[in-house]
């Protein structure tokens, strides 16, 4: 059981973003979606957690069909699927501890003492011990990103979705975030779905790589195999050679 999208079609007005998109995300691994801007990568993540619904097709998490969920059932699903936003999406007026505790307080299952302990545990997982009383503007971009991961894992989800986790970070911090994504897999056993433009990062973290192009998966497989693909569209993207795309009939 894991995440599955089957024959998904999604349009915004006259623009069709996904057009027969299908993908299976293997349980316990890290699947990374790459592709040009506007190809539907972020749309895919929003479909998985029910922020938007497909026009056609099916979206499944385990044995639950997400595109048919509403209300409490949808909220319960989202407790199992942590979302790491592109720019962390922390609330500037709240301390880091309160940001991380948000989902725990909403769930209402833990005492305040238990919440404080879970917050400390979650921050320790991302090497942010001792920042509970700081505010987001007191942290570096990389630290804010890690705090976003801590918030996502505080509810101990089975799945983590990462929306461009290394955008805007320097090369050293990118490596730190990559190692963190791998640590969440190894220490928490979560299944991860990542979207990124950073090919070096994708090669480092991925068990499975999928390229999205014109609304469908153009290629997928182990990351080491993508460098030997003959498809000019795939090669044009990973090698940064638009002339290869222009030659495709």
What's the CATH number where 120 sits?
3.40.50.300
120: closest CA among 104, 131, 110?
131
Q: What is the DSSP string of 108-132?
A: T-S-HHHHHHHHHHHHHHTT-TT-T
121 contacts: CB under 8 Å, gap ≥ 6: none
Report in angstroms the alpha-carbon separations of 245 from 97, 231, 234, 240, 242. Answer: 47, 10, 9, 10, 5
pLDDT at 84: 87
pLDDT digits (tens, 9 = 90+) for 133-166: 999 999 988 899 889 989 998 989 999 999 998 8
How far apart CA 123 and CA 47 sit, in angstroms, is: 28
Q: How far apart are CA 114 and CA 227, in angstroms?
A: 48
DSSP H helices, the chain, are 41-48, 71-80, 96-107, 112-125, 141-153, 171-188, 199-205, 232-239, 242-246
pTM of the model: 0.90
* Span 185-226, pLDDT tens digits: 998 899 999 999 899 999 999 999 999 999 999 999 999 999
At 169 the pLDDT is 84
Distance CA 70, CA 87 (A): 27
For 171, residues 6+ apart whose C-beta sits below 8 A from its C-beta are none
Measured distance CA(86)–CA(75) in Å, rounded: 21
Range of the domain at 24: 3-246
Q: Is 106 exposed, middle or buried (0-12, 13-18, 19+ CB in 10 A)?
A: exposed
Summary mean pLDDT of the chain: 90
Please count the structural domains in the chain.
1
Q: pLDDT band for position 113 (50/70/90)? A: very high
Q: How many Å apart are CA 179 and CA 177, to the nearest integer? A: 5
Tell me which residue has tokens 């220490």: 187
* pLDDT on residue 173: 87
Q: What is the pLDDT of residue 40?
A: 86
pLDDT at 86 over 90: no
Please say whether the beta carbons of 166 and 180 come within 8 A.
Answer: no
């Amino acid at each position: 059981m894991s995440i599955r999208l089957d024959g998904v079609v999604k349009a915004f007005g006259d623009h069709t973003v996904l057009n027969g998109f299908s993908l299976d995300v293997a349980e316990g691994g890290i699947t990374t979606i790459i592709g040009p801007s506007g190809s539907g990568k972020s749309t895919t993540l929003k479909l998985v957690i029910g922020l938007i619904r497909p026009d056609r097709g099916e979206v499944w998490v385990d044995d639950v069909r997400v595109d048919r969920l509403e209300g409490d059932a949808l909220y319960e699903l989202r407790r199992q699927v942590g979302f790491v936003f592109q720019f962390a999406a922390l609330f500037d007026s709240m301390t880091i501890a309160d940001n991380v505790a948000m989902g725990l307080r909403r769930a209402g299952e833990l005492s305040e003492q238990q919440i404080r302990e879970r917050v400390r545990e979650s921050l320790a997982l991302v090497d942010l011990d001792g920042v509970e009383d700081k505010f987001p503007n007191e942290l570096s971009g990389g630290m804010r990103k890690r705090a976003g991961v801590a918030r996502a894992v505080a509810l101990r989800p089975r799945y983590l979705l990462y929306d461009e986790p290394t955008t805007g970070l320097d090369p050293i911090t990118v490596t730190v975030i990559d190692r963190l994504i791998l640590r969440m897999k190894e220490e928490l056993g979560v299944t991860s779905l990542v979207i990124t433009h950073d090919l070096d990062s994708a090669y480092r973290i991925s068990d499975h790589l999928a390229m999205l192009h014109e609304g469908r998966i153009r290629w997928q497989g182990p990351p080491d195999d993508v460098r030997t693909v003959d498809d000019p569209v795939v090669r044009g993207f990973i090698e940064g050679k638009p002339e290869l795309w222009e030659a495709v009939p």
